[in-house]
Amino acid sequence: MNRHDHDAAILAGAGESPADAWRRRDLDVVWHPCTQMREHPHALPLLPIARGEREWLVGMDGRRYLDAVSSWWTCTHGHAEPRIAEAIATQARTLEHVILAGCTHEPAVMLAERLLAIAPRPPGRAPLSKVFFADNGSAGVEVALKMAFHWFRNGGQPQRTKFVALENSYHGETLGALAVGDIPLYRRVYAPLLAEALFAPSPDAVLAPPGESAEQRAHRAADALAALLAAQGDTVCALILEPLVQCAGGMRMHHPAYLRRVRELCDAHRIFLIADEIAVGFGRTGTMFACEQAGIAPDLMCLSKGLTGGSLPLAAVLATQRIYDGFLDDSRERAFLHSHSYTGNPLGCAAALASLGIFESDDVLARNRTTAAKMSERAASFRTHPNVVDVRQTGMIVAIEMAPGADAGVDGTAVEIAGGRGLRAYREAVARGVLLRPLGDVLYWFPPYCIGDDALDLLAATTRHAIDAAFGGPTCA
C-alpha cells in the first residue's frame, strides 16, 4: 500500500472522502500562489489531482478535468508524456544535478546547441549564439534585464539604466520582472520597491477604434514608441515585450508589423530588444517562436514554461555573441556573476531535449495547424454571442472576451478568476469537467497540443455554459 492509499484508507474510516481529506490537509499546511486563501474552503474548493494523462487531469475522486490552460501555459505535449518521463528517469539514474559553475554536462551542452539551432535567425542579422540557464521564467527575465544593463555599464554607458516595457505587459513576479510589468493588482503593492520603467502604449489590436485595422493600430503604437525613444532613448538599455500575445494581460494580440517596427527602433537607438517568449514560445502561436512571424530576431530571448514540455522548471536566456563578448575581461566584476543553484539542472535539460525531440518526431507544428483550425471553427460561433465582445486567435490560443461588467475584476484588468463573474464561469466549467481559468472578462483556450476532437467539443460547449453562468444563467452545480 502506498502512502496515498494508506492515508485514504485511514480517512475513509473516518467518513471523509480521500479528496476531502487532501483538501483539508492541504489547507492546514500549504499557502497557494495567486490566491486569496480565505476564498479556498468554500467559494473556491481545491481540486486534488492524482495524475495527468495527455490533455486530462484526473482527480483523486476519479473525476477527469480537461486542462484548458495547460497548467499555467506550461504543458505542450500533454501530461505525463511517456517519452519525457523516460528521459527524466534515465537522467535521474545517471546525473541528477551538478554545479554548473566550473562543471558542464552533456544535457546542458546538447540543449544549448539545439536551442541555438532553432532560434529565429533572419538573414543579415547576427544569430543568437550563447545560452544562459536559469530555473524559472521570472529568473530568466531577471537574467536578461541584468545582462542588458550590465553590458552598457561594461561598455562605459552607465547612464543607460532604464527599461522600456509595454502597457498591459507581464513578465513575472520577482522584483525586477514586476518592475517591467503593468498589471496593477500584481504590481501596485510592491511599487515602492520597483525600479522605474518607461511604459509604451500597447499595440493591442482590440484597442483599435472602429475603422482602424490591427496593422494600423500596430503602427500607431510604434509611432508612440518612436516618440518615447526620441525623448528618452539615451537613458534606456533594453526594451522587453511579449511577442504577438500579451498572455497574462488577457490574451491580447497584436499585428507582427509592430515587432518589425520595434526591431528597427531598438537598432536605431542602439538598445537591446528582449523577447519574452516564456509563454508564447515552443509552437504556441503557430511557429516555434512568435518572433518568426515578424521575421525578426531579438538580442536576448527568454524561454521557460514549454521548454521542458511542462514537466520541470527550467529557463534559458539566449544572447548574441556581441552581448556575450561585452562581459569578457580580466575583471570579475565585469563578468555576469548571476547564479542560481539549479541553473542548467540536468533533469530539466534532459526533459527539454526529449520535448524538442517530440516536436520533430511528431511534426507538432504541422499538427498544431490542423488543431488550431479546429479551434477556430469552434470559436466562430461565439462571435455572435450576445455577451461576447471579442473572439481572437493566434495559433493555439483562443480568447473569448465577455462584455465588461461591474464585477469584472479588480481594476477591470485581467486577473485570474478575479471577480464574481470570472469565479462563476470557473466554477461552472469545473463542475462540467474543464479547467478554465478566466483572466478578468476573458475566457481562453490554451490547451496541450495533443488535445483531441471530443475534448475540443467539450471545451466549446463548456465555455458556452460558463458564459451563461457568468451572466447569471442556469448552472449545473
Span from 20-28, 240-248, 260-268, 380-388 in contact with ligand PMP (CB under 6 A): 240-248
Question: Does residue 274 belong to the site contacting ligand PMP (CB under 6 A)?
Answer: no
Q: Which residues in the 278-317 window bind ligand PMP by CB under 6 A?
A: 278-279, 304
Cell of 314: 527550467
DSSP 105: -
Residues 6+ apart with CB under 8 A from 51: 57, 58, 79, 80
Cα distance between residue 165 and residue 202, in whole Å: 9
Which of 70, 76, 91, 136: binder of ligand PMP (CB under 6 A)? 136
Rg for the chain, CA atoms, rounded: 23
- The answer to the question of residue 392 lying near ligand PMP (CB under 6 A) is no
What nine digits make up the cell of 79? Answer: 501530461
Does position 345 bind ligand PMP by CB under 6 A? no
276 binds ligand PMP (CB under 6 A): yes
Residue with smaller CB distance to ligand PMP, 247 or 375: 247
By the rule CB under 6 A, 91 interacts with ligand PMP? no
Distance CA 166, CA 407 (A): 26
- 170 lines the binding site for ligand PMP (CB under 6 A): yes
The C-alpha atoms of residue 322 and residue 35 are separated, in whole angstroms, by 42
**DSSP-based three-state secondary structure for 242:** coil
CA distance 142 to 81: 30
Closer residue to ligand PMP, CB minimum distance, 170 or 449: 170
CA distance 161 to 113: 32
Q: Does 248 bind ligand PMP (CB under 6 A)?
A: yes
Q: Least distance (Å) from ligand PMP to the CB of residue 422?
A: 17
Min dist CB 215 to ligand PMP, Å, is: 23
Position closest to ligand PMP via CB: 137
With a CB cutoff of 8 Å and minimum separation 6, the contacts of 250 are 168, 399, 401, 413, 414, 439, 440, 441, 442
Q: Which is nearer to ligand PMP, 49 or 245 (CB)?
A: 245
**Binding of residue 171 to ligand PMP (CB under 6 A):** yes
Q: Which is nearer to ligand PMP, 75 or 455 (CB)?
A: 75
- 352 belongs to the binding site for ligand PMP (CB under 6 A): no
Q: Which residues bind ligand PMP (CB under 6 A)?
A: 136-138, 141, 170-172, 242, 247-248, 276, 278-279, 304
